[in-house]
Amino acid sequence: MIQIREFNLRDEEGIRELFYDCFGREMSHEEWVWKYMNSPWGSAAAITLDGNRVIAHYGGIKMKFYFKGLEFDVFQPCDVMTHPSYRARLFTKKGAMVKAAELFYNNNAMDFAFGFPSERHAILGTKILGYTRHGFINEITKDIVKKKFPSKLFWKIKIGWDYINPDEIDKLWEENKMFLNLSIQKDSNYIFWRYKNNPVKKYLPITLRSFLNKRLKVFVISYLKDDEFLILDYFFDRNFEKKELVLFFEKLSIDFGIFKIRLWIHPNDPFYNVFIKNGFSSLQSVPYIFKIISPKITDSFLFNNYFYRMGDYDAS
The pLDDT tens digits of the residues spanning 139-176 come to: 999 999 887 766 555 578 999 999 999 999 999 999 99
Which domains does the chain possess?
A: 2-135+288-312 (3.40.630.30), 139-284 (3.40.630.30)
The model's pTM is 0.93
Q: What's the pLDDT at 241? A: 86
Mean pLDDT across 196-216: 91
Mean pLDDT in the chain? 92
Amino acid at 300: S
* 140 Cβ contact partners less than 8 Å away, ≥ 6 residues apart: 262, 263, 264, 265, 272, 275, 276, 280, 281, 282, 283
Q: What is the rounded CA–CA span in Å between residue 229 and residue 57? A: 33
Check: CB of residue 264 under 8 Å from CB of residue 285.
Answer: yes
Q: What's the pLDDT at 145? A: 87
Q: What's the pLDDT at 80? A: 93
* Region class of 100: left (phi > 0), else alpha (psi between -120 and 50), else beta: alpha
Say whether pLDDT at 122 is over 70. yes
Q: What's the pLDDT at 153? A: 54
The pLDDT tens digits for 56-88 are 999 999 999 999 999 999 999 999 999 988 876
* 278 Cβ contact partners less than 8 Å away, ≥ 6 residues apart: 142, 243, 246, 247
The pLDDT tens digits for 22-60 are 999 999 999 999 999 999 999 999 999 999 999 999 999
The DSSP bridge pattern shows strands 183-184 and 260-264 to be unpaired
Exposure letters 88-107 (e unless 16+ CB within 10 A, then b):
eebbeeebbbbbbbebbbee
Exposure letters 180-196 (e unless 16+ CB within 10 A, then b):
bbbbbbbbbbbbbbbbe
Q: What's the pLDDT at 93? A: 46
